[in-house]
Amino acid sequence: MKKVLTIGWAMLLALATISCGGDEKKTSIGKIESESAANKQEKVRVDTIRTEMIEREIERTSVLEGYETMNVSPSMTGIIEKIYKEVGDRVSTGELLVRMDQTQLKQAKLAFANLETEMKRMEALIAGGNTTQQQYDGVKFQYDQAKENLEFLQNNTFFKATFPGVVSAKNYEDGELFNGARAIVTVTKINVLKTLISIPEAYFPRVKQGMKLELISDIYPDKKFPAVIETIYPTIDAATHTFQCKVRIPNGTNLLRPGMYVHTTVPVGKSEALLVPYQAVLKLTGSNERFLFINEGGYAKRIAVTLGDRFDTKIEVIAEEDLKGKELVVQGQNRLVDGIGLEIISDVQNVNASTDTLTSETKQDTIVK
C-alpha cells in the first residue's frame, strides 16, 4: 500500500514540474517577442507639436427668403376689376397693383359727402343753441360711421406697393371673384434678402448683433456674398439646444433669389488648438478610433485622440495627455505599433523607402475628416 502511494505522489510531482516548465516557457517566449518589438527600429520623421491660435467658425445651411413680402388680400370678397402687374414685373413703392370693384366705394363716398354737409350744418346749429345735444350726437354718430366705412372701402379697393420689389405670384385674372382663399398677387422684396440660421447654444455669448458673415451658394461656388446678423432671438430651443439669428443679405446684383440654399460661415471667436498634419492621424480599419504616434524616449507611443476642426492640411486633435511640445511622427507612422523602437531621420525618401505594404493584422488608414 505504501509503495502505491509513493508512486502516485511521484507522478503528481512530475506533472507539476512539467506544467511549471510550460508556463516558464510561455513567459519566456512573450518576453522575447516584447523585447524583439522594442529592439526593432522603424525609420520615421518627426515634428514638434505646437499650439496655434485659430479662428473658430461654424457653417450653417439655410434657405433664402425675401426680406419683405406683401400679399394683396382684400378683407372682403368682391370682383377684381384690374390687376396691373404680371409675375416677374418690378414694382416701385406706391405703384398701383390691384383695383377691386368700385360700386360700394362710390356709394360710400356719396353717403359720406351728404353726412359731411349735414355735420357742418349741425355744428353751426349747436354753436348757436338752435339744436339739442341729442340731435347733434345722432348726426355725429352717423358721420363717424360713414367715415370709417369709406376708409375701409378705400383700403380694400385700391392696393399699392408698400416697398420696391418684384411680383412673385399671381393667382387671379381680371373680372374674377376674389374669395379670400389665396392672395391676388404677392410682391417680394429681393434687393435685400434674409435667412434664419440655427446656432448651438454653446456659442450664444459669442454671437453678436451686427456681426459680419459670408454666404456661399452652390450656384455661384466662386462667389462670396456679404451678410450681417440683424437679429438674435433671445430664447433657446429646448428640443434642439439652438438659438436663431436673422441674417440680412444685400442683393443689389440680384444674383441671389428667395428659395436658394446658402451656406453661412459664422465666426465664433479665437482660441488655441493643437494642430497636426491630418496625414499623421490614423485609424484602424473597421474601427472609429483615431490615434497618432509620438516619440517617447526613442520608442513609439500610441495616443488616442478626438478630432476637432479641419484647417486646410491640418486638423485639430484633442487628447487626455498634454501633447504640446511632444515629437509627433509625421512620416512612417503606418508601420508603427505601440512600443516599437524609432530611428529618427530627416530624409523623406529614406522614410518612404522603408514603408512596405502592411499586413492585415497591422493595417492602418490615414484619417481624412
CATH of the domain at 177: 2.40.50.100
Q: Among all chains, which residue has been given the C-alpha cell 448651438?
A: 200
139 and 179: one domain? no
* Domain of 62, in residue numbers: 58-67+188-271
63 and 210: one domain? yes
218 and 141: one domain? no
CATH of the domain at 314: 2.40.420.20
CATH of the domain at 206: 2.40.30.170
308 and 251: one domain? no
Q: Which three cell numbers stand for residue 48?
A: 514638434
pLDDT digits (tens, 9 = 90+) for 244-276: 999 999 999 999 999 999 999 898 888 888 999
As for how many domains the chain has, the answer is: 4
203 and 222: one domain? yes
256 and 287: one domain? no
Question: Rounded to an integer, what distance in angstroms lies between the CA atom of residue 181 and that of residue 78?
Answer: 12
| Tens place of pLDDT per residue across the chain (369 aa) | 444 434 443 443 444 444 444 454 444 444 444 555 556 789 999 999 998 888 888 889 999 999 999 999 999 999 999 999 999 999 999 999 999 999 999 999 999 999 999 999 999 999 988 989 999 999 999 999 999 999 999 999 999 999 999 999 999 999 999 999 999 999 999 999 999 999 999 889 989 999 999 999 999 989 999 999 999 999 999 999 999 999 999 999 999 999 999 999 898 888 888 999 999 999 888 888 899 999 999 999 999 999 888 888 899 999 998 999 999 999 999 999 999 999 998 765 555 444 433 222 333 444 444
pLDDT digits (tens, 9 = 90+) for 222-249: 999 999 999 999 999 999 999 999 999 9
284 and 360: one domain? yes
63 and 195: one domain? yes
Is 208 domain-assigned? Answer: yes
Query: Could you tell me how many residues make up the chain?
Result: 369
165 and 267: one domain? no
Half-sphere exposure of 304 (CA within 13 A, CB side): 5
